[in-house]
Structure 1
Amino acid sequence: MEPAKKQDPLVLVADIGGTNARFALMDERGDVVRTETRQVAEYPTFLDALDAFLEHGGEHPTRASFAVAGPVTDGHAAFTNSPWTIDRAQLRDRKGFDECLVINDFRALSAYALSPPLGDLLQIKPGQPIADAPVLVIGPGTGLGQSLAVPDVDNIVTVPTEGGHVVLAASTDEEDRLIELMEDELGRAVTGEDVVSGSGLERLHRAMLTAKGQEIGKFSAPDITQGALAGDPMALATVNQFLLFLGTLASNAALSTGARRGVLLAGGILPRVREILVKSGFTERFIGESPMADYLRRIPVHLIIAGDAALRGAYVALRRAEQGTCATPM
């Protein structure tokens, strides 16, 4: 009989997007032991990338939690921007995981959201949080993610949503014109994700150039954010308008969900433009001038600046599932 393969007490976690897949091994205290980022385009399947990570270190974890940038149904996730699929049953069968979680990445962030280390956060707006109210997590990256963390006695309910796909509302005549231009481009109503996301930033920039009668050149979202940080007037105007639209969406979501414990801004774009965010009109737009302005004024808003928040959220979600304090199947 062959000797049993030595098992490792470490927990495997991953944060998987359409472009990058970040893997890590964490110990029982939740500390990262080893981490690597793999490019999605370099591997035909998710299992190929996972095998490359594990073979590099020689570990054989039996517990795993995967945070996925997209909807998850019965432990299965597919991506719109890559050919990868992730399936909990296949992972358990092929990799021998005793415990395996596949969850939406913003659901992982929700698991992290109720007790993030203070060093992980940058205050955007102070407030008076209500301890037993929900926390809203919202943020632009490849798309516009949104989720809730709802405390319930000793339990926690994490709720992934598709709130990024709500129709975007204008607050000024200028925004009306920009939305009209983007509707012409898309051939349909403009959603939050159509504007407040990586591709959305590019679309907004095209609309703003068109509105000002300027030539539309070739540019990417990183080009725009880098230009804004360097002081390019048009790029800076685009990023500021992007943040105003985010303020509208975050405000509406906070009102819709009663997120009076706070709002956490997440995603890959905002940490890169944090200096612009803190000086922008985001807070004024978030509070607004409606009869609910005082309600919104009391909601604190922070930016997650820790790069491994989704990884740690995936770890927290797995531990809560093991302890029976969440209802996610493994």
Structure 2
Amino acid sequence: MNLALVGDIGGTNARFALWRDEQLESVRVLATADYLGPEAAISAYLAELGLPLGAVESVCLACAGPVSGDLFRFTNNHWRISRAAFCETLQVRELLLVNDFSAMALGMTRLREDERRLVCPGEPEANRPCVVIGPGTGLGVGTLLESADGSWLALPGEGGHVDLPIGSPREAELWQQLYRQLDHVRAEDVLSGGGLLLLYRAICSLDGHAPRLQSPAEITAAALDGDAVALQVIEQFCCWLGRAAGNNVLSLGGRGGVYIVGGVVPRFAELFLASGFARCLRDKGVMSSYFDGIPVWLVTAEYPGLMGAGVALQQALGRG
């Protein structure tokens, strides 16, 4: 493969890298608000590296949302892409757009051992799906499956928008608090960065605490400092993440393993590892034993979405 470029584009930041010899090079993170569109951002990225337009023949961009047709509109920023105009402007021969969590799932195939932490021990079953789930700006859910020829298939979906699962009377009471605000309570409403603040306010309202924390970062910092209410928030967050992940395992037959990804959980990794996540993952009544032997990992890799975009591009071009 000649020199290629990969990107992982979110609502706030766009991450770009060169893809050469199956490795990432020259990773940069640009603020989407600073550029009119992806062409302008990529032009600035290439200029910083001293590369002219046309130096990159192939591009793969991981984008939040379903990708099809010529025009793609980003859901969380002002950017949009016309495939034809993009290739003409940047003198690119091939443009591949993939769902962001398809790229994230493919990134799991290139993890090093030091880029994941064991949450639940087990052995992945061959030829069975893996579940990839990650709280970030929203809640992403993807499915990874190895094909008979050794290539990888990543199935996109919108699993973050399923209903928030309720598994205890306490959770039912919290759900009622959330329902009064939202009218419909999705898993993503709680299992995301902003969801930490929503959950904190619901717990304060239910238990009669005066809310004093104003951001997800403050809640995380307070929990790490031992604040009792903030610790309850993190614990409930982890329990709900376990229930959501467990539902996906049952729905998909995900005995290939579970990967917890995204930017939220690693910020309180030790609290997560000591939480009720594993208990709630398998809290499925008569189906609880189904989870015996399914491994779960917390992913700490810095740029798994970019790595997955590279894997997607190699596979699309028939070289990986």
The question of a shared fold, defined as TM-score above 0.5 by the shorter chain, is answered with yes
| Structure 1, 86-95 or 55-64: larger mean CA deviation | 86-95
Query: 2:71 and 2:259 mapped to 1: Cα distance?
Result: 27
C-alpha contact 1:114 1:135 (8 A) present in aligned 2:
no
Are the counterparts in 2 of residues 75 and 101 from structure 1 also a CA contact under 8 Å?
no
Which residue is equivalent to 1:10? 3
Q: CA deviation at 1:47?
A: 2.0
Whole-Å Cα distance in 2 between the matches of residues 297 and 237 of structure 1?
Answer: 27
From 6, 12, 23, the counterpart of 1:31: 23
Question: Does 2:152 correspond to 1:156?
Answer: yes
RMSD across aligned C-alpha pairs, in angstroms? 1.7
CA distance in 1, matches of 2:206, 2:246: 26
Change in Cα spacing, 1:70 to 1:226, as seen in structure 2 (3 Å) is farther
Alignment of 1:1-330 (within 5 A): 9-28=2-21, 30-59=22-51, 60-74=55-69, 76-154=71-149, 155-186=151-182, 188-217=183-212, 219-323=214-318
Structure 2, gaps ≥5 residues long: none
Q: Is the 8 A contact 1:138 1:265 kept in 2?
A: yes
Task: Map Cα deviations across residues 278-306 of structure 1 (whole Å, 9 max, x no partner).
Answer: 10010011111512212112211111100
Q: Match of 1:328?
A: none
**Does the 8 Å CA contact 1:195/1:204 hold for their aligned counterparts?**
yes
Letter of the 2:208 counterpart: G
> In structure 1, what is the Cα distance between the partners aligned to 2:33 and 2:223?
29
SS of 2:301's equivalent in the other structure is: coil
Q: Residue type matched to 1:39 in 2? A: A
Q: Give the aligned residue type for 2:32.
A: V
Partner SS, residue 246 of structure 1: helix
Residues 154-179 of structure 1 show CA distances to partners (whole Å, capped at 9, x for unaligned) of 14321111011111121111110111
- 2:73 aligned partner, one-letter code: A
Q: What CA distance in whole angstroms lies between the structure 1 residues aligned with 2:109 and 2:187?
A: 25
Contact 2:62 2:305 in 1 (8 A): yes
In 2, Cα distance between equivalents of 1:322 and 1:9: 11
Residues 89 and 232 of structure 1: CA distance in aligned 2, closer, same or farther (over 3 Å): farther
TM-score normalised by L of structure 1? 0.91
SS across alignment from 1:268: coil
* C-alpha deviation, 1:217, in angstroms: 3.8
Shift of 1:115: 4.6
Q: 1:107 to 1:262 in 2, by over 3 A?
A: same
- What residue ranges of structure 1 are gaps of 5+ in the alignment? 1-7, 326-330
Alignment-derived partner of residue 4 in structure 1: none
Q: What are the superposed Cα offsets for residues 94-129 of structure 1, whole Å, 9 maximum, x if unpaired?
A: 212122211111100222224522222111111121
Counterpart amino acid of 2:255? Answer: R
Within 1, Cα distance between the matches of 2:109 and 2:50? 34
> Per-residue deviation at 1:70?
2.7
CA distance in 1, matches of 2:94, 2:225: 47
Report the Cα offset of residue 228 of structure 1.
Answer: 1.4
How far the C-alpha of 1:69 sits from its partner, in A, is 2.5
Q: State the Cα distance separating 1:15 from its structure 2 match.
A: 1.1
Secondary structure class of the residue paired with 2:317: helix
8 Å CA contact retained: 1:113, 1:135: no
Range moving further from structure 2, 303-312 or 90-99: 90-99
- Runs of 4+ in structure 1 displaced over 6 angstroms? none
Kept after mapping to 2: 8 A contact 1:26/1:34: no
Conserved 8 A contact 1:129-1:261: yes
Q: Answer whether contact 1:75 1:102 (CA < 8 A) is retained.
A: no
